[in-house]
Amino acid sequence: MKIFYSEVHRQHYPPFEVFDGGKRVQYFENPDRMDKILAALKQTDWAEFSEPEDFGLDPILAVHDKDYINFLASCWEEWLDSDPEVAASPETHAFLPATFALRRTSRPTSSLLGRGGYYIMDLSACIVAGTYKAALASANCALSAAKEAISSQRSAFGLCRPPGHHAGKDYAGGYCFINNASVTANWLCAKGKTALLDIDYHAGNGTQDIFYERNDVLTISIHGDPDFEYPHYAGFADETGVGAGLGFHKNYPLAKDTGDEGYLSALDDALTMIREFAPQYLVLSTGMDTFDGDPLGKFHVTQNGFREIGKRIASLGLPTAIIMEGGYANAALGENICILLENFK
């Protein structure tokens, strides 16, 4: 299996994030995640590593607002120029606004912090000097996996960092800046009918935002119920698309403590929808934070569960761009992703 990976991701490593209650903690979405996955993949006899191709900005701007992407590109340098304290010790700082827009009537302002509060959804989408470059490289890993899936008519893995599925048309959130899976699905659907399945523990709110009014890509997310879990304001069962997109989005919000049996039941229903849609390509947003013991999840999916999840998705027989999303039980992360990927090789 071709694995597309870039070392550029290491340039994005904020010194902290802020949890509920204002607690400053070490950044959970850190380079150690990739190191654990790389180490596990290198122990297999089927992983073939490649540098991603540079696809330019066109595929990204096809789903993201241009002003938002411009904000990501310029934010750090603007902040350095505007704050002497940051310029004196940039390695201890991350750009985070303190005021966030209520989108019902809001608009971006000319001030940097005003734009930050408009284009950033929460306190985990921290921006540092290398964030934009890392996000571009991550999107290119995803697109390269899609291109390989087309040419080989098999599956390929975009080992993406930072992840993407919480990034909407014009906002960052949940460690995500460019929605890698959505950029990929949009690019693929010009080549053939495409479905996107999100198996990350958290609802793919950004993906839902991007495709919610469209009927050319079927989007499905299986996740912790937003009634108790991040992102809280999207991912409910009655959100099924609007306008032309009505019926082309499906959420499976699952209860706390869902284990293998409950998860696989939802997955079987989702796979039935995909078969009825009859796509030519599949994009798989692959979060491993459903794992029993993940510090940011409340599910109890086991390694046997991951093996069965991979087996059932692979049974669709579709060329699949597998896109890395979340997963924060780092000690087991590499083994977990290999267990799932083995079904697609």
Residue 49 maps to a domain:
yes
Asked if residue 209 belongs to a domain, the reply is: yes
Strand 17-18, strand 24-25: pairing: antiparallel
Query: In total, how many domains does the chain have?
Result: 1
Give percent above pLDDT 70 in the chain.
Answer: 100
CATH number at 233 reads 3.40.800.20
d(CA 286, CA 163): 10
Taking only the tens place, the pLDDT of each residue in 42-99 is 999 999 999 999 999 999 999 999 999 999 999 999 999 999 999 999 999 999 999 9
Q: Is the pLDDT of residue 104 over 90?
A: no
In a domain, 110, yes or no: no
Q: Residue 64's Cα: distance from chain center in Å? A: 14
Average pLDDT over residues 16-41: 96
pLDDT at 105: 75
Is the pLDDT assigned to residue 226 strictly greater than 80?
Answer: yes
Domain contains 72: no
0.95 cut: is pTM over it?
yes
Q: Is the pLDDT of residue 115 over 90?
A: yes
Chain centroid to CA 203: 10
Is 99 part of any domain? no
Q: 245 is in which domain, residue-wise?
A: 2-66+126-341
Domain membership of residue 106 (yes or no) is no
pLDDT on residue 113: 93
Angle at 163 between CA 342 and CA 143, to 5 degrees: 70
Q: Is the pLDDT of residue 106 over 90?
A: no
Q: What is the mean pLDDT of residues 136-159?
A: 98
Work out the mean pLDDT of the chain and round it to a whole number: 97
**Does 207 map to a domain?**
yes
Q: What is each CA distance from 125 to 33, 209, 332, in whole angstroms?
A: 17, 17, 24
- Residue 153: which pLDDT band, with cuts at 50, 70 and 90? very high
For residue range 264-309, what is the model confidence (pLDDT) as tens digits?
A: 999 999 999 999 999 999 999 999 999 999 999 999 999 999 999 9
Query: How far is it, in rounded angstroms, from Cα 252 to Cα 263?
Result: 10
In a domain? residue 226: yes
Query: Can you give the pLDDT at residue 133?
Result: 98
The rounded distance, in Å, linking the Cα atoms of 234 and 1 is 34
Active site residues: 166
